[in-house]
Structure 1
Amino acid sequence: MSNISVVSTKPYEGQKPGTSGLRKKVKVFTQQNYTENFVQCILDANGAALNGSLLVVGGDGRYYCKEAAELIIRMCAANGVAKLLVGQNGILSTPAVSSLIRNHKALGGIVLTASHNPGGPENDFGIKFNCENGGPAPDAVTNNIYQLSTAIKEYKIVNGLEIDISKIGTNTYDINGKPFVVDVIDSVANYVAHMKEIFDFEKLRDFVSGKTSGKPLKMRIDSLNGVTGSYVREIFLNALGAAENCVVHTIPLPDFGGLHPDPNLTYAKDLVETVAQGDYDIGAAFDGDGDRNMIIGHRAFFVTPSDSLAVIANNLECIPYFKKNGIQGFARSMPTASAVDLVGKKLGKEVFEVPTGWKYFGNLMDAGRLCLCGEESFGTGSNHIREKDGIWAVLAWLSVMQHTGKGIEDILKDHWAIYGRNYFTRYDYEECELDPCNEMIATMEKNITDPSFIGKSYTSGGKTYKVKVADNFSYTDPVDKSLATKQGLRIVFEDGSRIVIRLSGTGSSGATVRLYIDSYEKDNVLGLASEMLKPLIDIALEISQLPKFTGRNAPTVIT
């Protein structure tokens, strides 16, 4: 029998979850009682429902993940949880956690990830809570967790509870006369079975192996040494019959092998250069915890996340899951270019514009009003779970390629010929000083919400844009009527072009400024994005005074 210890503690400042959990440097999380405080607040936020409950625990394998998982097990044992499903070695992708929560009707899950942020002892760690629907905790829950963190006085733990989470199997303990079960599970099996229910793996295997065309599909699937490695090997090599050289960086490493686990043109440079120089049909990369994706075609033809969402929306009939379950509405985050809106309009489906953060899609899915959604930060997903899902997105693209018999670039060109093109880019200015950034946002908001701003014209590069709408985006949830305010400054021009600027909630230190530029063209769809968007970028820098406030002459990352 193991006994429960009650340990005195004091609050730490700043344990406020951001867009998707609490993210800080490893050195912050490893301070005395820091992780314990936050985990106790997650558990306390669940109230009486925690007693006798089932929770899922796992993470992206980054530095401190295994130690944190073992700590969480000991704390769950002390707080009345009856059973845990824990990924082997503490590893589960974020989509896999969501799938497991839903499949096992769990109370929720504790996910150990800082997503696309760098890993290692000098870099980032994160913890977030996913609710019983499998999605990130909504604002009401994260606000409660934060309030609890400001007043915490003690946490509960079972000291001396030893468990080897490297071995798959069921472990049962007696905690003060009550059974406590820890199931260490295969990290991959449940998720792979779920994908086989969604997609036609037989058709995809024939397509990938070249059985139908006589030529195997040439792929380069890059896990960037993040959590997706094992999933990629099981799905693309074992289930779909791809050759070993089609997958790279498939061993999850605590520091991601020095790679930056953010699947974009800057950080997935090796993938982009390799596909640009080779005869590849498709290239793809995923972030640290497996929920984000980047898709590129032959010669590294880049698919923007907003175009990716729109193309999948326009071809859902080729995926068995949607044939069986029907097609409800579509949604995108507010900064994401509005390409999917045009597909929704043509198909007669609702299209929702929500704040940044996957949790805003969950209510719409649970209400049966949404089946496909995405955000410009390389996230795409459907109502099969309540998280974005990188591997799902690649399987969706392979399904579209198989169905149309065309390559990625031709699929995009055909799409633009029907719908027109939303040219889109995002400038990220990372780890800026926070106070000047807050001043920049406050100054810009004051300027653009002045009534005289509407109707103003701005000219650059021979193009003139006239302001139609300007505001700080707010969102009323159509299901529960909850209100989210101050979600990003946006300027919408009369031709539909947009400038959006916001401070990101996913960094671990300082401020990350994100500037989004979106310009729609009905006919001129084959231009170079950087040239087409330059006039509007120059206007955005002028209106925001971003170089002045940040001291930066160029962004850290352009996507």
Structure 2
Amino acid sequence: MHERAGTPAQPQDLIDVDSLLGDYYDLIPDPTIAEQQVVFGTSGHRGSAADTAFNEAHIVATTAAIVEYRNAQGTDGPLFLGIDTHALSGPAMETAVEVLAAAEVEVRVDARGGFTPTPAVSRAILVANGAADEAGLRTSGPGLADGIVVTPSHNPPRDGGFKYNPPHGGPADSTATAWIANRANELLAKNGWKHVKRIPYTRAKNATTVRPYDFMAAYIAELPKVLDLDAIRDGGVRIGADPLGGAAVDYWGAVADEHRLDLTVVNPEVDPRWSFMTLDWDGKIRMDCSSPYAMASLRTLMDGAEAPYDIATGNDADADRHGIVTRDGSLMNPNHYLAAAIHYLHSGARPQWRDDARIGKTLVSSSLIDRVGKRLGRPVEEVPVGFKWFVPGLMSGDVTFGGEESAGASFLTREGRVWTTDKDGLIMCLLAAEMTGATGKTPSQIHAGLVNDLGDSWYARLDAVATKAQKETLKKLSPSQVRATELAGQEITGKLTEAPGNGAAIGGLKVTTADAWFAARPSGTEDVYKIYAESFVSADHLEQVKDAAQKVVAEALDS
């Protein structure tokens, strides 16, 4: 823990924006160096121009690869392009438009010249492909739309990010991203990216194929389809929304105006240095709305009997994540909010949802969700980490709600149709206000009721050092390599390397007992593996589970 975690950023913590932008254009990656290659994680390619990991060459090559990929897939409709507020997002967007215009791709850019949350891009793709029509969503045939979002999500200000959403509107699967990354790296080799056809941005932005699209108006107008906004108004719920300097900055005020909500934008400032932020746990500026340190200012605002709002909310830079602060100044643990939201939505709030539809959760999310599902009589589908696993179910209506432990989720419209197939931090924030207005209880009070009925749990995540070879071994473990028979004093009841919900490889290991579990997965960017653990016994028992987890994994890696 950094000594200044949770305190305001100081001048020495801020990036030099001009230097970073200079690096974007001046530094040329060496594709023989792994750290300078295009690598797609669960949410696209990320890196810093200062590290020669997110530069003009990367974006030229990646955009050209996306053009080739969509051509090969027969995707010939409009490509919706959105950006967040990171310093590198603007130049990366311009580079992408230069390549897309030269390739005569129909591009839709923000009509206001502003920023676009990830969920607004996802919704635009789905609507273009028929999600709002009676005939329903199309996933094949001519004229299908897709999209690019230029964002590194909650990453520090020095980073950039670039992700592709195919016609289903959600994150591209590993087959697509592997193809795109491989082709992009081929173009980086021997300076092949320099031969990619481009049109200078001053001309490209005025090309007949590059047209404006009002993402904000389209998204906000449809919010009553997915939320009971009357419950918020009639309940007199006061909302304080903090976009944390991200892409939702103009959306929140427009939501308040159009839907007549008692909603105040707590901080409308946009600064690519994020000078107004408090430092995260490690002393870095990070727009992580699930971190109590990054959300320290909002927590302080809500602490005490005279809190100005009933619900305060935060979003990350592309607004695909949510943070919920209730009247006592507490930032809800993402797992606690997911459980409370799932319970509320499936307890009469959405009567048109199918009774046989499933609840989706990642395998590192709290088991309280499983207990809530059992109480509701709803099946819970447990999938590997990554929102892409929820896409098929959300599209078909077979999954009502998909949620990740990292504060990302989306759910169906009130009629039971697809809303977004990417995480939507805006509707998750507004849902907290709906829950408060409809029930008279805050989400934290609803969670407390669940704990009283179903048991309290203690949850944690930690990182452990691992070599690259050990990380590869961890990815490919089999249950037979786990020799332990008990975990923190309890008999092991399950050793999983595949997700129970869909049989997909989890890229790691999950071990369960009657009252606890842990999961271990290798990091995609650092020489560590991540351990997630939960106990329904006590905080002390959780510590035992964490210690035992490291021993179990170490033994398996040495086997």
Report if TM-score (shorter chain) is over 0.5. yes
Residue number in structure 1 paired with 2:313: 284
Q: Contact between 2:474 and 2:522, CA under 8 Å: does it hold in 1?
A: no
Please point out which of 52, 55, 61 is paired with 1:37: 61
Q: Relative to 1, partners in 2 of residues 1:318 and 1:419: Cα closer, same or farther, differing over 3 Å? A: closer
Paired residue type of 2:156: P
Which of 28, 42, 52 is residue 19 of structure 1 equivalent to?
Answer: 42
Q: 2:493 aligns with which of 448, 453, 468?
A: 468
SS at match of 2:470: helix
Inter-CA distance 543–200: structure 2 relative to 1 (3 Å threshold): same
Where 1:188 maps in the other structure, the secondary structure is: helix
2:291 corresponds to 1:251? no
- The amino acid of 1:468's aligned partner reads T
1:110 corresponds to which residue?
148
Select which of 112, 129, 149 maps to 1:88. Answer: 112
Q: Structure 1's 366 and 243: CA in aligned 2 closer, same or farther, altered over 3 A? A: closer
- Check 1:163–1:229 CA distance in 2 against 1; reply closer, same or farther (3 A cut): farther
1:456 counterpart (466, 477, 486)? 486
Larger deviation, residues 436-445 vs 61-70: 436-445
Q: Distance in 2 between matches of 1:319 and 1:196?
A: 17
Q: Counterpart in 2 of 1:555?
A: none
1:403 aligns with 2:441: no
Cα distance in structure 2, aligned partners of 1:252 and 1:512: 33
Residue 206 of structure 1 is matched in structure 2 by 234
| Amino acid in structure 2 at the alignment position of 1:252 | V
**CA deviation vs aligned residue, 1:468-488 (integer Å, no higher than 9, x gap):** 2234x224885xxxx743522
1:519 to 535, 538, 556: 535
SS in structure 2 opposite 1:199?
Answer: coil
User: Greater CA deviation, 305-314 or 355-364?
Assistant: 305-314
- Whether the 8 Å CA contact 1:285–1:295 is kept in 2: the answer is yes
State which of 226, 241, 251 in structure 2 corresponds to 1:231: 251
Kept in 2: contact 1:51–1:79 (CA 8 A)? no
* Corresponding residue of 2:509: 489
Verify the 8 A CA contact 2:63 2:100 in the aligned structure 1: no
1:456-512 superposed Cα distances (whole Å, 9 cap, x missing partner): 354xxxxx23322234x224885xxxx74352222212x23111122344x5xx346
**2:311 and 2:325 in contact (8 A); partners too:** yes
Pick from 213, 222, 228: which aligns with 1:194? 222
* Corresponding residue number in structure 1 for 2:139: none
Selected match of 2:95 from 60, 63, 71: 71
TM superposition shift of 1:183: 2.3
**1:127 aligned residue (145, 152, 162):** 162
Residues 404, 26 of structure 1: alpha-carbon distance in 2 compared, 3 angstrom cutoff: same
Deviation at residue 437 of structure 1 after TM alignment: 6.0
Matched, 1:363 2:399: no
User: 1:230: how far off?
Assistant: 1.3
Correspondence for 2:240 among 220, 232, 256: 220
Instruction: Give 1:382 deviation, angstroms.
Output: 1.1
1:303 maps to which residue? 332
Partner-residue secondary structure (3-state), 1:257: coil
Contact between 1:87 and 1:186, CA under 8 Å: does it hold in 2?
Answer: yes
Which among 515, 531, 549 is matched to residue 540 of structure 1? 549
The superposition leaves residues 147-204 of structure 1 with CA deviations (integer Å, 9 ceiling, x where unpaired) of 3224334554342352697xxxxx5x3xxxxxx3322234421121121222232331
- 8 Å CA contact 2:119–2:420 kept in 1: the answer is yes
Aligned counterpart for 1:502 among listed residues 521, 535, 550: 521
Q: Say whether the 8 Å CA contact 1:295–1:394 is kept in structure 2.
A: yes
Deviation at 1:234, TM superposition (A): 1.8
Helix, strand or coil: the match of 1:221? strand
Aligned to 1:159: 199
C-alpha distance 500-441 of structure 1, shift in aligned 2 (>3 A):
farther
* 1:372 aligned partner: 401
Aligned to 2:26: none
Tell me how far 1:544 sits from its aligned partner. 4.6
- Return the letter of the residue paired with 1:295: I
- Residue 458 of structure 2: aligned partner: 423
Q: CA deviation at 1:350?
A: 2.6
User: Cα 1:218–1:486, aligned 2, differ >3 Å: closer, same or farther?
Assistant: closer
One-letter amino acid of the counterpart of residue 450, structure 2: H
For 2:104 and 2:263, how far apart are their aligned partners in 1? 47
Shift of the 504–451 alpha-carbon distance from structure 1 to 2, 3 Å rule, reads: closer
Aligned partner of residue 46 in structure 1, secondary structure: helix
Contact 1:118–1:255 (CA under 8 A) maintained in structure 2 = no
Distance 1:445 1:324, change over 3 A: closer
CA deviation digits over 1:507-545, x for unaligned, max 9?
5xx346432111235xxxxxxx75563332333344456
Which of 289, 302, 309 aligns to 1:275? It is 302
Tell me: CA distance 1:74–1:445, structure 2 relative to 1, closer, same or farther (3 Å): closer
Aligned position for 2:14: none
Q: Is the 8 A contact 2:256 2:262 kept in 1?
A: yes
Match of 2:174 among 132, 139, 152: 139
> Which sections of structure 2, spanning at least 5 residues, go unmatched?
1-28, 130-143, 278-285, 413-418
Offset, 1:103: 1.3
TM-score relative to the length of structure 1: 0.78
CA RMSD of aligned residues (A): 3.2
Q: Which has the higher strand share?
A: 1
Cα offset, 1:443, TM superposition? 7.4
The count of residues paired between Structure 1 and Structure 2 equals 488
2:17 is matched with none
State the 1:127 CA deviation: 0.4
1:90 Cα offset (Å) = 5.3
Aligned equivalent of 1:242 = 262
- For 1:125 and 1:97, the matched residues in 2 are separated by 18
Alpha-carbon spacing, 1:61–1:451, altered in 2? closer, same or farther (3 Å) = closer
Deviates more, 1:273-282 or 1:435-444: 435-444
> How far did 1:118 drift?
0.9
- 2:467 corresponds to: 436
Aligned-residue identity in percent: 23
Q: Is the CA contact 1:76–1:157 (under 8 Å) kept in the aligned structure 2?
A: no
Secondary structure of the residue that 1:66 maps to in structure 2?
A: helix
Three-state SS of the structure 1 residue aligned to 2:127 is helix
Query: Aligned equivalents of 2:463 and 2:241: distance in 1?
Result: 25
**Runs of 5+ in structure 1 lacking a partner?**
1-8, 166-170, 174-179, 211-216, 459-463, 522-528, 550-559
Amino acid at match of 2:222: H
CA displacement, residues 263-295 of structure 1 (integer Å, 9 cap, x when unaligned): 122322222233234533323211111011122
Residue deviations 1:31-59 (CA, integer Å, cap 9, x gap) = 45221011111111112456742110011
Counterpart residue identity of residue 411, structure 2: S
CA distance in 2 between counterparts of 1:408 and 1:368 reads 25
* 1:417-439 deviation digits (Å, cap 9, x = unpaired): 3333333222357xx7xx63653
Q: Which is further off, 218-227 or 10-19? A: 10-19
Equivalent pair of 2:467/2:528 in contact (CA under 8 Å): no
Asked if 1 retains the 8 angstrom alpha-carbon contact of 2:247 and 2:318, the reply is yes
Distance 1:440 1:355 in 2: 17
Contact 1:226 1:256 in 2 (8 A): no
